[in-house]
Structure 1
Amino acid sequence: MAEFLRSARTRLTPREAGLDAPGPGRRRVSGLRREELAQLAGVSVDYYTRLEQGRSRSASPEVLDALATALHLNDAERNHLHTLARPRPRP
């Protein structure tokens, strides 16, 4: 899930997300910053960072939907995010 979130975040530009973007050449990162995505999804930056770094896998369906909406994921990508967040069966 961590890699999927990171990849989706870096693909989405601030303009696509509806944020005011500074002039060309002023951003140091491609895509959205973690802080921007957390704000759009209504979660704390710390919580989103833990999800993106794989330090937390416990995200409610509501949080996953908020992230999917903020990331402009299509239905297949949204379903994939939910699948990635499911607990893995123990061997």
Structure 2
Amino acid sequence: MKGEKPTRPLSIKVPNLFGMQYFESRSYDEILEILEEENELILELEDLCTEAKERRKTYQGSVRDFLMDSMYEIDEREAKKKLSTDNARELRDTSDS
């Protein structure tokens, strides 16, 4: 069953972060992969919210300043993550050559 297309179109409704998502005519593996990616994003969002709540308790500025600082830190973290991914890809590409 793993990796095979359903004999008839598979249509299911799955609740997600943005409401209900419809999957039609996809393999079971494709659906599982999409749901796993969404689950990772939800867990990351929960971690960010928890971290923000903890930091807000000790922050001395306004809520607006706190949100702006938090967005800057998230952008900086994402840029570092992308840079490390790009560097790893570049190292892998040069080692393959």
**TM-score, structure 2 length as denominator?**
0.24
**Greater helix content:** 2
Bigger relative contact order (CA 8 A; separation at least 6) = 1
Larger radius of gyration: 2
**TM-score, structure 1 length as denominator?**
0.25
**Greater strand content:** 2
